Amino acid sequence: MSDGTPADLFFDAAIGLLQRVREEEAETITAAGTLLADTVAAGGRLFAFGAGHSSLAAQDVVYRAGGLALMNLLAVPGVVGVDVTPATLGSALERVDGLAGAVLDTSPVRAGDALVIISLSGRNALPVEMALNARALGVKVIGVTSAAYAIRTKSRHSSGTFLKDHCDIVLDSKIAVGDAELTLDTIPAPFAPASTVVTTALMQAVMATTAATLADRGIEPPLLRSGNVDGGHDWNGRIMEEYADRIFYRP
C-alpha cells in the first residue's frame, strides 16, 4: 500500500471508482433512468431487489426522502441484508434454484413493471433466475453488477449464465473481484470494500435521471420529502394517496 493513511487510500479508491462509473456508465445511467421514467409514465410500478449486502443499495432507494415514492423493495426472506442467523444462511439461499420463481409468483410484480436487480457478482442462482423469470413475465429488468465477475469467475446457475445476460440494461459498478480495495503487508487479506458506496451512488444517479426525465415530459415526479421538515408528512400523504395502487410498503 502506498503512502497515506488507510482512510485516505480508501477514499481515493472509492472516488476513483465513482469517477469511472460517472464517465463510463453515463449512457447506461441515462438509459436506465429513461426506462424507469417510461414505466412510471405508462402506469407501471417500480421494484428493486438485492441479496446480502447488495440489498443495501436496493433499500436505499425505497421510502426515501428525496426519492421516488413508487420504488418498492422486492424482499426475499433470509437474504435482505444480514437479517438471519447465522448470516451465512443468506449466502446459501442465494444459491437455491427455484427460489426466485416462488418469490415472483407471490409478489405484486406484473407485466409492464420494471425491476432493478442488484448483485455484485451476478453469478448466483437467485439473481440470475430473478432476471430470467421477471422478463418472462413481461417485466423490464435493469441489472447492477460487476462485469469483472463474468470474466474471472464461473456462474453458479445451471445455465452457466450471469445476471448481465438476462437484463434489458446493465450498469457495471467496476468493482474488482473480491470487493476489497486495499492491501497491506501486515494484513494477510485484501480489505476495505467499496461496492456499497459505488452501487448506492449508481442507484441514486439513476433515480435522479428518472425524476428529471419525468419532469422534462411535464409529469410531476412522485417524490417523497423528509418527515423532519415542516409540511413533509402532508406532502408524503398526498403522494401516497395519489399513487396508492403502485406503493406496496404501506398498509
Res. 84: pLDDT tops 80? no
Note whether residue 250 is domain-resident: no
Antiparallel, parallel or unpaired: β 71-73 and 46-50: parallel
| End-to-end Cα spacing for the chain | 51
Average of per-residue pLDDT across 211-230: 97
Residue 115 cell numbers, joined: 425491476
The number of distinct structural domains making up the chain is: 1
State how far the Cα of 204 lies from the Cα of 198, in Å rounded to an integer.
Answer: 10
Residue 216 cell numbers, joined: 422534462
Query: Residue 47's domain is classified under what CATH number?
Result: 3.40.50.10490
Antiparallel, parallel or unpaired: β 182-184 and 187-191: antiparallel
Q: Domain containing 27: what range?
A: 6-244
Other Cβ atoms closer than 10 A to 159: 12
Instruction: Name the pLDDT band for 185 (thresholds 50, 70, 90).
Output: very high
Note whether residue 251 is domain-resident: no
State how far the Cα of 91 lies from the Cα of 103, in Å rounded to an integer.
Answer: 17
Q: pTM of the entire structure?
A: 0.94
Average of per-residue pLDDT across 101-126: 95
**What is the percent of the chain where pLDDT is above 70?**
99
Note whether residue 52 is domain-resident: yes
Note whether residue 222 is domain-resident: yes
Residue 152 cell numbers, joined: 474471472
Note whether residue 124 is domain-resident: yes
Instruction: Name the pLDDT band for 131 (thresholds 50, 70, 90).
Output: very high
Q: What is the pLDDT of residue 68?
A: 97
